Structure 1
Amino acid sequence: MKPTPFDYTAPATVGEAVALLADETREAKVMAGGQSLVPMLNMRLARPELLVDITRIPELGRLHVDEEGALRIGAAVGQARVAADTAVRDGWPLLAAAIGHIGHPQIRHRGTVCGSLAHHDPAAELPTVALALDARFVITGVHGTRTVTAGEFFVATFSTAVEPDELLTEVVFPPPRAGHGWAFDELSRRHGDFATVGVAVLLQRDPGAGTVRTARVVFCGAGPVPVRLPSAEDALIGTDAGEQALAAAARAVHAGLAPGGDVHATAEYRREGAAHLLIRACITAWERCP
């Protein structure tokens, strides 16, 4: 199939872009990398009358660490560029690792970080990492700019806090957390497929006691939004992340995770896979703790 007819424009400023999105006389869609939008156009799942290409807006192509040490990624910044950036790999290795699980190199070269976040497929890697790292989302409309947390941003499957007349202009990752080990792991049918289920783990070691001081466990493919599981985190905190603690965390997954079933996997398969992934990711994260 081919897309229905549409107009195309490439504004030079954010103001021009949001003005086009706010025009109620025709439906508009934002295009950056197009890795999600173009297939939807071809299958006619999306039928916009106007495509607003934001890749020629200079400020949206910025990738930098600000004066407070936070990582700021503009809406037109490609995934491959982020994953290859030295500052990202050193300060936010969980983000770089998760990007490596997205599709194939061609997709990561064209796809954008903000595009994947705004599209919000619940099986995607980046929403999970955004929640694990407490990312903030900068959203701009004709009436101004607002910032929301990751917990507020993801609303439901393919739905976020961005309104039709607004643009996600930037995602901000807080400064790196000292003393943390990290891991991202996922289960998929084939390399490059969306995750059947996946997990992001952050563990902080208490250097005096040699135990887990803080833990963050977030799953993808386990619900309509990224799923944080505090019960699994509690099972790890205060322990040496050994066999008993990992078994308790796995039991917390079986008791607390409620994924859906579909043609790709049953709910029980996802739950069992999530428990095994969590154990493996926790071992890796603990080994990486300084």
Structure 2
Amino acid sequence: MKPAPFKYFAPTSVAEVLSLLNQYGYDAKVLAGGQSLVPTMNFRLAQPEVLVDLNGVSDLFYLNESDQSLHFGAMVRQRHAERSALVAEHAPLIHEVMPHIAHPQIRNRGTIGGSLAHADPAAELPAVMVALDATFLLRSEKGERRLPAESFFLDLFTTALEPEEILAEVSVPYLPAKTGWAFREVARRHGDFALVGVAAVVTLDEKQCCRNARVVLISVGNGPVRATKAEQALAGQKLSASVIGEAAQIASEQDIDPPDDLHASSAYRRHLARVLTRQALTQARERINSRT
């Protein structure tokens, strides 16, 4: 199929983008890498009257560091982030997750901001950004605002973006000392959407007890799901195998309510959530030990 007719704009500045979105509002869609939007338009599941193409906006293509954080312009290609030495050094969880996202051809076009704004509940990047406590910069002609990643994802394919706003930048703080990270997922084939995935970031205190834990799951709800009860079970504890196992059990039984669908049953997703949470927390603990 072919998309329905639409007006096409190719602005070259953020100011032009924001002016167009302010003018057309709900009738406009923003085009980043096009790996999700273009197929839905071809199937006419999305029929925007206006398409605003960001690929000519050079001000959104950057990856730099300042104030103990990495800053991703919304149009940074996923493949660029995957190959970046800065990302590997200062945001190793992002570096680790990138090869799980689709295939290299997709990552060559797909963008960091596009994946986050699309808010697919099976996508890896939303969960990773929540686990890393990233901050999102949203811009419109009215001004700008910053949101924690956890507040950005509202529901199935739904975010806090207003019609006249764009996601302009993602800021990811450096990992503190005594911190480990891991990502685990199961998919039917490499490059497929995950049946279940888990991102974990754990920080220990001077007594080697858990000072902070963020455990976030994908494909078990309408967006990235933070396993808050499992995190509470880890708080103040030494990360023994039994403590990790109990937290994984809590995550699978109390923190999620996964759906049944043609790919996996709810029971199987709970099983995967338990196993993958245990594996992710175990590897995060091992990485702390290897860094100290």
Q: TM-score range by the shorter chain?
A: over 0.9
Q: Which residue of 2 aligns with 1:101?
A: 100
Q: Residue 215 of structure 1 aligns with which residue? A: 213
1:74-223 mapped onto 2 (5 Å cutoff): 74-206=73-205, 208-223=206-221
1:61–1:76 Cα contact (<8 Å) kept: yes
How many angstroms apart in 1 are the aligned matches of 2:51 and 2:242? 54
- Matched residue type, 2:45: L
**Equivalent pair of 1:26/1:50 in contact (CA under 8 Å):** no
Would you say the 8 A contact 2:253–2:270 is kept in 1? no
Contact 1:79 / 1:112 at 8 angstroms: preserved in 2? yes
Distance 2:245 2:178 in 1: 24
Percent identical pairs in the alignment equals: 46
| Aligned equivalent of 1:262 | 261
Is the 1:26–1:49 Cα contact (8 Å) retained in structure 2? no
Alignment of 1:41-80 (within 5 A): 41-66=41-66, 68-80=67-79
CA deviations on 1:200-252 (whole Å, 9 max, x unpaired) are 0112233x433333221111111112111122123233333222112211220
CA RMSD across the alignment: 1.5
Contact 1:250 1:276 survives alignment (8 Å): yes
User: How high is the TM-score relative to the length of structure 1?
Assistant: 0.95
Q: What's the CA shift string for 1:13-47, capped at 9, x where partnerless?
A: 11111111122388221111101111111111111
Shift of 1:184: 0.4
- In the alignment, structure 2 segments of 5+ residues that lack a partner are none
- Contact in 2 for aligned 1:40/1:46 (Cα 8 Å): yes
Q: Which amino acid aligns with 1:137?
A: F
- Residues of 2 paired with 1:155 and 1:203: CA distance? 25
- Other structure's SS at 1:216 match: strand
| Letter paired with 2:94 | L
Count of aligned pairs:
288
Structure 2 letter corresponding to 1:78: R
CA distance in 2 between partners of 1:56 and 1:24 (Å): 19
- Counterpart contact for 1:72–1:171, Cα < 8 Å: yes
Distance change (3 Å), C-alpha of 1:188 and 1:11: same
Q: Is the 8 A contact 2:26 2:163 kept in 1?
A: no
Q: Quote the residue 1:24 is aligned against.
A: 24
- Relative to the length of structure 2, the TM-score reads 0.94
Query: After TM superposition, which residue ranges in structure 1, 4 or more long, deviate above 4 angstroms?
Result: none
Give the partner amino acid of 2:106.
Answer: I
For the residue of structure 1 that corresponds to 2:23, the secondary structure is coil
Residue 24 of structure 1: SS of its match in structure 2? helix
Instruction: Name the CA distance, whole Å, in 1 between partners of 2:58 and 2:37.
Output: 22
Give the secondary structure class of the aligned counterpart of 2:145.
strand
